[in-house]
Amino acid sequence: MVSATFYFPKGFLWGTATAAYQVEGNNTNSQWWEWEQQPGNILHDHKSGLACDWWSGRWREDLDRAVESHQNAHRISIEWSRIQPAPNRWDESAIDHYREIMRGMVERGLTPMVTLHHFSDPIWLSESGSWENDLIPNYFEKFVGKVVDALKEYVSSWVTINEPNVLLTFAYVLGQFPPGKKDLRNAIRVATNMINSHAAAYHLIHKIQPQAQVGIATNYRGFVPAKPWFPPDVWVARLQSRLFNDLFPVALRDGVLRFPVTVKRIPQAKNTQDFLGIDYYTCDRVSFNLFKVGEMFGRRFYPPDADLSDNGFIANEPEGLFTALKWALQFKKPIIITENGVEDSDDHLRPRYLLQHIHQLWRGVNFTWPVKGYFHWTLVDNFEWERGWTQRFGLWELDTETQARRKRPSADLYAQICRENCISSDMVSQYAPEIYAQMFPE
């Protein structure tokens, strides 16, 4: 049997990623909290409730879990609605609370990466139009200044906006996130406001902390032509990728927002990413369909033999991660995988998903591509937005009734990967023997 070990560079960041609204609990000042109360918005009308109860202090035990599993970094987010519950009020005790968490991370040997906006807005902001309001760059800049000033002692790695492409699509085009809008024309305004907000934050953070590393996390989705020999499928897959994957990173490189029929210059956004954050989960097959106008002429689907997650939400497509890395090279910046993971309550799929994706990551590393870190989504099962509690992405399982955690086998696997800074054929034979022959062919 062939055996091998694939090492990562010294100092590689290994961690998990979380988002405030999904783990803290009782975020009653967020627009998501209001959205949850309206029947039909969240699957089975689930409520975030206590979530993982981090705000009451369980962040400590969960970050201890991260440390026990040899992680050396953690991506966390800050809840704007806690820091600024009203337009003219800063909650200093919430700021102190976050300072304590950041100190807790540093003391545990976890390098913090902090996301400043992860889908959740204060209610007062949503009442004034959130991302449709042209004043949002000013509001965001003030909030960011307050946070960065307070946390700069512990943090120098910042994600301004998590997945602006997902936020734009789900909140303003598909209507599945608050405010539930379905208005493609409005999307240009929203995207412009996001880019302006990022740019304002980028410049301000560098003013406060010149050594800061600032970027966004883009959700990169693979779009593979259903019939690679059929030009319309190839064309539509490219179009979808340009719209979903390229829109924001290109705007932040060139200072130009390119929509299908509109081009907008935003010069202050030019060259405002210090690293490329990539959230990668899966790939679609795309076939050309003239009647899918709203979906940009593409029918998207998973192939019939796809290796699917519990709810069919994610197809295990590890090579898409390699494609994402290749795509990211065009930006000539360090690359960080800011999220990657799978919903899998009984952990039958996660071990192979994890090994196969980290294998693809290693292929990039082996070409000396500038990949600096990997954050698995996620540490403990959490509230998955419009899908409520139906999807379980945690290395640890959460019982929402009792708040008890139970380790899944993948947590042990990930601990070995983090400790040894590699993946090996031994790990594959122990945790995912079914892929051994494919990963280590004779």
* Interface region with ligand GAL, contact rule CB under 6 A, candidates 105-113, 162-170, 289-297, 321-329: 162-170
User: Cβ closer to ligand GAL: 71 or 115?
Assistant: 115
Residue from 317, 418, 441 nearest 8 by CA:
418
Residue from 47, 12, 49, 62 nearest 395 by CA:
62
Residues 9-28 that bind ligand GAL (CB under 6 A): 19, 22
* Interface region with ligand GAL, contact rule CB under 6 A, candidates 53-61, 161-169, 173-181, 296-304: 161-169
* Interface region with ligand GAL, contact rule CB under 6 A, candidates 98-106, 158-166, 344-352, 410-418: 158-166
Query: How many Cβ atoms sit within 10 Å of the Cβ of residue 202?
Result: 24
d(CA 139, CA 269): 17
Crossing angle (nearest 10°) for helices 92-107 and 59-68:
20
What's the residue count for the chain? 442
Single residue of 393, 396, 414, 431 touching ligand GAL by CB under 6 A: 393
x/- mask, ligand GAL, residues 37-76, rule CB under 6 A, reads ----------------------------------------
Residue from 20, 25, 42, 33 nearest 123 by CA:
33
x/- mask, ligand GAL, residues 256-295, rule CB under 6 A, reads -----------------------x----------------
User: Cβ closer to ligand GAL: 112 or 255?
Assistant: 112
Collect all residues with Cβ–Cβ distance below 8 Å to 240 and sequence separation of at least 6. 223, 284, 286, 296, 298, 300
Got the DSSP string for 173-227? IS--STT----HHHHHHHHHHHHHHHHHHHHHHHHH-TT-EEEEEEEEEEEEESS
User: Cβ closer to ligand GAL: 226 or 358?
Assistant: 358
Single residue of 27, 72, 120, 162 touching ligand GAL by CB under 6 A: 162
The answer to the question of residue 384 lying near ligand GAL (CB under 6 A) is: yes
Collect all residues with Cβ–Cβ distance below 8 Å to 390 and sequence separation of at least 6. 43, 44, 46, 311, 384
The answer to the question of residue 377 lying near ligand GAL (CB under 6 A) is: yes
Size of the site for ligand GAL (CB under 6 A): 12
Interface residue list for ligand GAL (CB under 6 A): 19, 22, 162-163, 166, 219, 279, 339, 377, 384-385, 393
